[in-house]
Structure 1
Amino acid sequence: MKDARYPIGPFEFSEVVGKDQVDGWIEEIRLFPSKLASTLSGASEQALEKTYREGGWTVKQLVHHLADSHMNSYIRFKLALTEDTPTIKPYDEAAWAKLPDSEMPITTSYKLIEYLHERWVYLLTSFTEEQWQATFNHPDAGIMTLEKALALYVWHGKHHLAHIQYALAT
């Protein structure tokens, strides 16, 4: 792996997006929990304590982070759909990863991801073309459309799935 921090490369977004691309991203959100389950299948408790790089999060912390992050994203989507460019609250991901609930078994966070993604896909498939252009303001990243946020979270899932796969393979 060239750069363990970004095993699939940095996030890239083309400002010109078609319906087929959006539909593909929705399908990626739908499939993510099963891809995660497949990757984690058979992993021992010892394997869940492995990291993908020195100083990186453990597999267990990554699974809990995915649940935390994707919950935050889902809420951001709902805020953007119901408010006029709301400013969302960022959170300290590294500090969250050190909280005691990041040490619990991953089953709870996996189930949360599974059900959250089911609900998220249900919401996403209801969007009108106009709703994809709804925005929120991230204090660090600026104004973001829901279309771009969807692309970002597809990347985010793949990004951390690659971290998990790498950690479990070493």
Structure 2
Amino acid sequence: MNIGSSTQDFNALRYPIGTFTFGQSYSTAETSQHIVGLDELPIKLTELVGKWGDDRLDTPYRPEGWTVRQLVHHVADSHMNGYIRTKLALTEANPTIKPYEEGDWATLPDSRLDIAPSLVILRSLHQRWVAVLSQLDEAGLARTFYHPGSGYTYTLAEQAAHYAWHSEHHYQHINRLAERNGWK
């Protein structure tokens, strides 16, 4: 295998559905599809990994990547932050949100716990998040928050798209690991 294909293989493992493109605008129909993706993630993820043992959960999804266990906990951590950012944007004028160090969070002691608490969090959290997002009109979806880490201002429509991508991105990390290892 040459260097080019090795890099290509690594990128395919790292970004199984490609990278997210910031700065796009989304129609209400597209946002509705993103909300459906958020609604479906907890069930899809639970069906995929809910009965896995420690041997599978402690397998990295790629070389030098997080384990499945860390990914599940990361999705819960990330989406809790996303939900809070949604509520801040709906109740304040372009609030500046608090970034967090996701890589550091993935090494804290709770990242080694059973995944059941994070799967329960995701199911409950997404139920609430979808309830909020699905009731927003164009003006609500145009509400914004500022992310000082990226220097970027997000609309809630773009945030919904980003988290729908994030959901599928990490789901596919795990799904493709399962396919590669014959676990499906």
Is the TM value for this pair above 0.5?
yes
Query: What is the CA-CA distance between 1:13 and the residue it aligns to?
Result: 5.1
2:171 maps to 1:161: yes
Aligned partner letter, 1:163: H
TM-score by length of structure 1 reads 0.94
Pairing of 1:1-170 with structure 2 (within 5 A):
2=9, 3=11, 4-12=13-21, 15-141=24-150, 142-169=152-179, 170=181
CA distance in 1, matches of 2:129, 2:142: 17
Tell whether the 8 Å contact from 2:61 to 2:67 is kept in structure 1 after alignment.
Answer: yes
CA distance in 1, matches of 2:146, 2:67: 30
TM-score by length of structure 2 reads 0.88
Task: Determine the structure 1 residue equivalent to 2:5.
Answer: none
Secondary structure of 2:111's counterpart equals helix
Tell me the alpha carbon deviations over residues 22-81 of structure 1, each in whole angstroms, 9 at most, x when there is no partner. 111111111111110121143221100001111110000000000000000000000011
| Greater gyration radius | 2
* CA-based RMSD: 1.4
State the aligned residue count.
170
Name structure 2 gaps, 5 residues minimum: 1-7
Name structure 1 gaps, 5 residues minimum: none
Aligned partner letter, 2:136: F
